[in-house]
Amino acid sequence: MLKILKYSFYDLMRSRWSYVYFAFYLLLGVVLLFLNNDLSKAVITLMNVIIVLVPLIGTIFGVMYYYNSREFTELLLAQPLKRSSIFLGQYLGVALSLSMSLILGLGIPFVFYGLFQSSAIWDFSLLLITGTFLTLIFTALAFNIALSNENKIKGFGYAILLWLLLAVIYDGLFLMSLIMFEDYPLDKVSLVGTMLNPIDLSRTLILLKLDISALLGYTGAVFKEFFGTNFGLIISFIMLTAWVILPVFRIVFKSKRKDF
Amino acid sequence: MNKLFVFLAVIFLAQTNYAQNIEVCNTCTVSTLKDAIAQAKDFDTITVKKGTYKEHNVIVDKPLTIIGEDYPVIDGEFKGEIITVISDNVTVDGLFIINVGNSYTTDYAAIRVRNSKDFLIQNLVLEKLFFGIYIEKSRDGKVFHNKIIGDAVEEYNSGNGIQLWYSKNVEIEHNFIQHVRDGIYLEFSDFCTIKNNVSSLNVRYGLHFMFSNDDIYQDNEFSDNGAGVAVMFSKRIKMYDNIFKENWGTASYGVLLKEINDAEITGNIFEENTIGINIEGSNRIIYKNNDFISNGWAIKVRGACYTNSFLENNFLYNSFDIAYNSKVNDNVFDRNYWSNYTGYDLDKNGIGDVPYRPVKLFSYIVNRTPETIILLRSLFIDIIDFSEKVSPVFTPDNLMDNNPKMKKIAW
Amino acid sequence: MVSIQNLHKKFGKNQVLKGVDLNINEGGIFAVLGPNGSGKTTLIKSVLGMVIPDKGNIEVLGNNIKKSSDYRHKIDYLPQIANFPSNLKVKELIKMIKDLRKPTNEETRLINLFKLEPFLDKKLGNLSGGTKQKVNIVLTFMFDSPLVILDEPTTGLDPISLIRLKDLIQAEKAKGKTILITSHIMSFVEEVSDEIVFILEGQIYFKGTIQDLKTKTKQPDFEHAIASILTENHA
């Protein structure tokens, strides 16, 4: 698997898309910092960007890589290699190269700006960790979609739909149901609803850092327990890990049963 | 002129010649504070040497200066009030007073000043207390540089650090107060100055004002208090350069303003409070040059607030800048800096070319269904906030800052 | 060498293999024949584990292929369509495959044989179909495995390369290897194969030598024999 990871990674590092992605984040970091001159504000803007864009790019890029590397996959399948290692290797290759573009692209301008002397370093690290998690999750979901759909167009369609669903529609429905059932105690429901969507989950993690003052304004005991202690942070990380592991398991499962 | 000089000289000589110094120590002939006061004449000085004195109900009924050397301990053994001053011109300095009696019917204090003028309470350390320094119907005094550390856990069985009741013209400066019910409490007390105090970790309010007018508080720090600072039913209060920090909780504010008129709030820093300022029924207040940093809600307006002006403040990284619960707005927001502002400044005059609307639709939704707070910063919320910004339906449509600054304001 | 029992495979509604039983002994060249869509490639891919059978059993060198994928180290496989990552150079591809499988020095001889030296530094995307096929052949034959499976090996090859391929196959046979070939070129099959396996509508229709086939169909030559099977069954 490591060898395949190596070649996938190597392959991606040579494709211009990783550079585009890297350059995009680099530019974003530079523009936010040097035009704005305000680290805290830059971190907040970045959070909005990461929560929305990282999943989008993760899904699109994952699906695109899968379909584009069919030849490579076929070549590998002709070799005496384990199915699971072929696909896990490719998955990790994509996910890691995307994460690296993200971390380096944003990290470099921030380090140059003097992040290490700043109190925003924890917020920023959390941001990068969350971004990496989102990349891992959404690339895995993208591979799942691609593995289940031979048709490229369909695959892309589902990928965009998935993103739209989790990034926007889910929250809309969530908001509507909260307002509709506002007469009932909702704090548990709303926390569970958040756990079930990786984008919301990462958002919550960042809220814990940036908006703790506002979150503690709510009366619910469960909320208090969740946001007021490390409990929320721990649960969120566990759930994010679960969100990585489950789709990866499905990649292994699906790839073992697929005909080529 | 000569006559006056002679008169002053006589007074001065009388002071030095006749004012005596009485020493109190565990092995001295005078071994209790009570005896010392009984023996003392007016304007004498009582020096209390290092040691522990188990005394309570010490009544200071003549103008005396009581000075502790190396912080002698006055232990009230939880039997009631410890020192009560009922005479004018009393100075109490440098004592370590502990173990005030607790009661549900009487407000026992470590030291109480009643019906007196020109008092000076300074350099005291108070621990294990019920009420700390209680100024009652007194005037023209000073409470200076005391340290009050309580162990209050609940509101109903704890007392306040420094309490003023029907008092006038008292200066409260450089005190350090923690773990009591209200750090500083003023009721019916006018023309007082509260300066350079630190009041934190108190069960209820760091500072509490009721029916007190024309007071100034300046350069104080209030942090981590159960409910922040409350200023209620008072007029012409001036709040300058204070710091309000980390007052977290459901009903917790940097400042709670209720029925306040004609106040001035200038140069304060509100940082990481659940609500920076909560305003109810307050009119003609000027908010100028304040920093609102990383609060849940920088300002929450709960209605019946008219002709307030918010000028040249910095609103930095608050989850919500302003929350309003009505559609009517009679307050002015002008020339503030809003870190959430996304407009542009094409003519480069330092003022954004499009007005800023500080009230978001989402704050309205959260007000209605608090659980929705969990959706803060979601893309969906950004979208509906944007549409509300374009055509306001739920939020006051004239509530905007027409001259939002492009850069943080320095003063 | 390879033993297949009751193999079934369905793609969607299309039942491709309907109970294939096949035994291939060690040594010799076996040609798998059949009309388009008869299931040749599916059969071969099942042996390679690339297609998962619905039903049935496959053993390669005495190992059930479901249990472990290790048996594939003993197979050299030439895929039908040579799809390679297009931004890789020929040299890099060979190096990579060696890295993935095992070290070998055979490739120099094979590169020499097919005159691929001028292409080593070219990207695979820029090669012609024939050259790609040659690279494909090099990749397959550079490992010395007891079972060789060739899916349409002649595609796109010029006559000289075809002769070299035939020599190569004969040489491998001489080493005692088992070689499985599918091809549409009947003359090629007739020339190289010892035994043929004919698949029709998802089942083994015939297995034996070419001579047996001619006798069975009463046709004088191989091509006609094949044609007669097809016409008989479709008539």
Mean pLDDT value across chain B: 90
For the segment B57-105, what is each residue's pLDDT rounded down to a tens digit? 999 999 999 999 999 999 999 999 999 999 999 999 999 999 998 888 8
pLDDT of residue B327: 77
- Which of A57-66, B282-291, C221-230 shows the lowest mean pLDDT across its residues? C221-230
Residue B398 CB neighbour total at 10 angstroms: 11
**Contact by Cβ (8 Å): C80, C48:** no
Whether C232 shows a pLDDT value over 90: the answer reads no
pLDDT of residue A29: 86
Measured in residues, chain B has a length of 411
Residue B370 to residue A217: CA distance in whole angstroms? 9
Residue B49 to residue B68: CA distance in whole angstroms? 6
Backbone angles phi, psi at B310, to 5 degrees: -115, 105
For the segment A67-95, what is each residue's pLDDT rounded down to a tens digit? 988 877 888 887 888 888 888 988 998 99
Fold of B17-226: Pectate Lyase C-like (2.160.20)
**Contact by Cβ (8 Å): B126, B146:** yes
Backbone angles phi, psi at B123, to 5 degrees: 55, 35
Residue A164 CB neighbour total at 10 angstroms: 12
Residue B369 to residue A219: CA distance in whole angstroms? 12
Residue C182 to residue C205: CA distance in whole angstroms? 15
Whose tokens are 């000589």? That residue is B13
Residue C227 to residue C219: CA distance in whole angstroms? 10
Whether C81 shows a pLDDT value over 70: the answer reads no
Q: How many domains does chain C have?
A: 1
The pairing of strands C178-182 and B216-218 is unpaired
* Amino acid letter for position B3: K
Measured in residues, chain A has a length of 260
- Chosen for mutation from B272, B373, B394 (greatest number of chain A CBs closer than 10 Å) is B373
CATH of the domain at C158: 3.40.50.300
Whether B242 shows a pLDDT value over 90: the answer reads yes
Mean pLDDT value across residues C34-49:
84
Please calculate the CA angle A100-A106-A111 and round it to the nearest 5 degrees. Answer: 110
Residue B278 to residue B258: CA distance in whole angstroms? 8
Closest-CA residue in chain C for A256?
C52
SS3 (DSSP) at C52: coil
Identify the chains in contact with C, defined as 3+ C-beta pairs within 8 A.
A
Whose tokens are 């803007």? That residue is A45
Q: Give, in order, the Cα–Cα distances in Å from B336 to each of A211, B307, B315, B316, B386.
A: 22, 17, 7, 11, 21
**Contact by Cβ (8 Å): C84, A62:** no
Residue B65 Cα, gap to closest chain A Cα (Å): 47
Identify the chains in contact with A, defined as 3+ C-beta pairs within 8 A.
B, C
Whether B8 shows a pLDDT value over 70: the answer reads no
Whether B16 shows a pLDDT value over 70: the answer reads no
SS3 (DSSP) at A130: helix
Which residue intervals of B98-242 are DSSP H helices?
A: none
Residue B100 to residue B182: CA distance in whole angstroms? 17
Whose tokens are 């800096």? That residue is B337
Q: Is there an interface between B and C (3+ Cβ pairs < 8 A)?
A: no
Q: Among C149, C184, C155, which Cα is nearest to C169's?
A: C149
Question: What is the count of residue pairs from A and B with beta carbons less than 8 Å apart?
Answer: 120
SS3 (DSSP) at B68: strand
Both tokens of C125, joined, read 């995307």
pLDDT of residue C127: 87
pLDDT of residue C54: 87
For the segment B113-154, what is each residue's pLDDT rounded down to a tens digit? 999 999 999 999 999 999 999 999 999 999 999 999 998 888
Domain of residue A217 covers 2-256
Closest-CA residue in chain A for B375?
A171
**CB spacing of C50 vs A260 below 8 angstroms:** yes
Mean pLDDT value across residues B267-280:
93
Residue A94 to residue A10: CA distance in whole angstroms? 10
Both tokens of B127, joined, read 């621990």
Domain of residue C65 covers 2-234
Contacts of B272 in chain A (CB under 8 A): 212-213
- Domain ranges for chain B, please list them: 17-226
**Contact by Cβ (8 Å): C6, C55:** yes
Contacts of A70 (CB under 8 A, 6+ apart): C83
Q: How many domains does chain A have?
A: 1
CA dihedral sign of residues B395, B396, B398, B399? negative
Q: Is B174 left (phi over 0), alpha (psi -120 to 50) or beta?
A: left
pLDDT of residue B342: 86
For the segment B278-317, what is each residue's pLDDT rounded down to a tens digit? 999 999 999 999 999 999 999 999 878 899 999 999 999 9
Residue B45 to residue B15: CA distance in whole angstroms? 11
Contacts of B273 in chain A (CB under 8 A): 213
C69 touches A at CB < 8 Å: yes
Residue C113 to residue C142: CA distance in whole angstroms? 12
pLDDT: is B74 or A259 the higher one?
Answer: B74
Residue B59 to residue B31: CA distance in whole angstroms? 16
Residue C178 to residue B189: CA distance in whole angstroms? 107
Cα A82 to chain centroid, rounded:
27
For the segment A97-108, what is each residue's pLDDT rounded down to a tens digit? 899 999 999 888
**CB spacing of A210 vs B317 below 8 angstroms:** yes
Residue B62 CB neighbour total at 10 angstroms: 17
Cα C227 to chain centroid, rounded:
22
Residue C44 Cα, gap to closest chain A Cα (Å): 11
* Amino acid letter for position B368: R
